[in-house]
Structure 1
Amino acid sequence: MELLKLVIVDDEPILLQGLIKTYDWSGMGFQVAGTAQSGEQAIQVIKEVKPHVVLTDIRMKQITGLMVMEEIQKTDLECLFIVLSAYRDFDYAQQACDLGAFAYLLKPIEDEKLQETMQGAYKTCVEKMKNEAKYESWENLLVKDSNSFLQVVVQKYVQNRIPQERVEEVFKTLEDVPGNGQRFITVCVEIDLAYKITNSLEYEASRFALIKLLEEVIGAAFFYWKIEGDEGDAFIIRTEDKGAVRKLKSLLEHVKKNEQSPVVASISKPYKGVEGIRRSYLEARRLLEMASMSGASALTASEDVEVPLAEETGGDNDALVVNAVRRNNTKELKEAFIHLIYSLPSDEEKQCRCLQQVMLKTEFMLQESYGLTEAIEEKFRKYYYNLENLSGAKTVDVCYKILCSAVEERMKAAQKMETKYFKEYMSEAMTYIDEHLQDEDLSIVSVAAHVYLNPVYFGRVFKNMCHMTFKKYLMQQRMEKAKKLLESGNGSIGEICDAVGIYNPSYFSHLFKQYTGKLPSEYKKEYEG
């Protein structure tokens, strides 16, 4: 075990020596690297030694332990403070916590409590040191392979998963800040989704060939980052060529001539700066969406035309609808569908085409995940077959009903899958609950951790399988155990409280009466001789 540096501070010499000599600091992972008998001396020692942890008394003459913490925080030193006090003073504890103290211990120190606190401090320090080492390794990797790293950063940035400020920091770190002469242009090219319905076997092969061809022809002429996503791939070009848009149009014409399948494409206007990366991407995505809806094979925008971006018009309504179905959320689906309806163009033919795009995307999502039963698939087929005979209003009604049916089927399928795959998990969880009812800290978090599941997900599966919340089940088990103990006549009320993990007798009596309608003493009398 690597020993970390510890500084101990107390203005009482006898107490200070007691702290140094009484405890097995090395056994807890520390070496006493410095001591101080005043706040002033403590500040000086901490600055010289640079310890990982400082154990300090709060109440000292002139400069208190809290003042020491405040002074060290003004420096670039980073160490954990564990504060001691002989007074049960909540204000001191609160101030120490406000200043970021790792722990607050009362004198005389309980050996077990000190051991637990120091182990926690050691673990925190070691974890921090590991993270710092990872960060240093990350920086080295960043410098060695900057292009690959930027590819990841740019993708997350345009998908709104990293703020612009962070991206600008990365460019500065790499000393690669976009110059005034550089522009960013995004190209989006996709096989028409409708082609997947009529030629599903050829669709994926055609799309793969298209992307490979684009990588070849665009890469030969420009530097680019390829952005992959659910809505198709995009190429963000970084260039100083003022004629880049014209050249890209020519390249796309070449690509379209070589493709047998229907190609839909868009090119953004050129934009400057880091903010221009995302602006060009959103514009190209919006143009591709408009091209798909209108049936155009390609769309670009002239310099004097302002393209409304998806974000500025309330978000990608298609994606909102598809994601609501993906999450099996009927309320979210209703809200997303209303947003979609209000965003539809006034032309009825275009309205129907917009809704068709949403239905296509939803069906593909169902194919790739679950919930596309024969009945739902048949509803999609009938919708496509009768598309030309449906009015705008009727199309809206039909689409919404199909989407709602899809959500219902996915919810049924999800519950069946959860019951099938997590039956053993729930059995293990219930056994663990029964064996730890006496633990006051037993919670959904601790039980979920025991069976290696996310607490939120565990809670949902638990409720679906047990038909009650975890909290209600835990209380039920505790009360049933309490009833059995009272019926057997073994143990006092206090002992029963301990056995069911509710250590406050008054609170236990209140809960027991709520559960049974009787106080524990009344319930016990019914089973006495």
Structure 2
Amino acid sequence: MSIKTYVVEDIKILRDNIIKKIHLLSSDFKVIGSASNGITALEEIKQLKPVVVITDIKMPVMSGLDLIREIKKLNPHTIFVIISSYNNFEYAKEALTLQVTDYLLKPITTENIEEVLEKIRQKCKGIIKENIYKLMINPDYLPQDYASIFDAYHIFHICIGNKRIENSCHDCKEFFGDYYPYLSLNNSSSQDIFFIPHARSNELTVIIGSYKKNKRISDEFIQQTQSYFKDNYADFNYTIVISRGITSFKQLSQNYIEIGYSLLDNIIFSKSNIVFLHDSNKYSDSKNDKININMLITYLKSKNRKLFKNEIQKIFLYCEERNMSQEKVANLLKNIFSILQEHSVNFDNKMLKLEYLIDDALSNCFTYTELIEKIMDLYNNLISKESIDDNSETLNSLNPVIEYIDRHYCENISLNELADMFGFNVSYLSRAFKKYQGVSITYYITKLKMDLAVNLIKENPSILIKDVAKATGYSNQYYFSKVFKSTMGISPSEMFKDRT
């Protein structure tokens, strides 16, 4: 942060002393000029446009109060600090009507100046944050003149896992909140961090301000970020799109929009990725790379599950070798299965919502190994003649499943085990359950666990979170807390506070 400051004081030794103390106490402030009277100060301030003006109240030629009034006509957002003595109390009261931020009482001490500088720094930071948030909502918003006190900004748009996840247990702000405030940006000695959360908890925009005009983030910075994730969150795939150095609020707004679109093209399925906005993924299909759809149709019609799976695995190997984004994997699978659907016995089955099923598969898988099983469920859909009818027989057949879940939900119940236990096709069971219960089996089980957790917290004042996690079937306390917050809207620790 580089806060341009101007000092007006008619006594030279006092004026020099204030400037010296400012430079010694904080590198966030840069004194860009000084004057011994209001008239000289006014002319220089018109040219220099400081963020902060520190001025004595009583001066020859033009008083400090008159100077403040004139500057406010030029820039109403300027921050003012007045210098006063005990016998100028009436002037000080009048200064309050001019919305002066603070005052320095003579004799001026180091402690007084340090306290005032910190108050101004926090005020500037708050104004920057307010302007940033307004810009993110409205690109046409005109920020306050003195809010652009950084020489450079960098935007980090972060996604843990998959952008498609709507109710993620991965809380980006918690991951990065403990990290970036302590990380040096290109060895800058002063920086501020602003977090802009999104509807999805697994997405976050981090805006870092620095008074060094850095066009690119250093390689060291990227390496530190990668090491941090490897050491602390090795199980999570992440994507970070980073802007180049931005030197105006208007660029900030434009890059924020561009980075959101860029993220879709740069979430590489099953891999972590750090990219710069202007060096983003340039993937394009080659005419020589063709999917053998005819073979897939043949294996679909002959119901040869093994060969169909082998062919899908070849396609996934093709995707992985090309570092294909999640978005392009989704589009590729939708194109393939839309063709296969035409050759399926279920072509007229309206319950087979292809796009939804593929999106759902991608949302819940983080590796190609996991995805292949979901895709084979789609294959089962295409070769099965089962359909979900609106009748009591279907509903009655689900009752034993629901009763079993209600008794065993704290155990590790898998969808495949449930289907085998009650003689259902996995895909049919998933669709039928969602149709009649209104939620997926996974969510139904999770909600039962979280309701139990709430009761345990409310009824047992001394219970530990790790014991609540264990009682509800979670071996990992951290993961339990994430799921709890995603499902219930608050964290377990917050619920403990509300209970008291």
TM-score interval, normalised by the smaller of the two chains: 0.3 to 0.5
The TM-score normalised by the length of structure 1 is 0.35
The TM-score normalised by the length of structure 2 is 0.37
In our comparison, the structure showing a higher alpha carbon Rg is 1
User: Which structure is higher in helix share?
Assistant: 1
Structure number with greater CO (CA < 8 Å, separation at least 6) is: 2
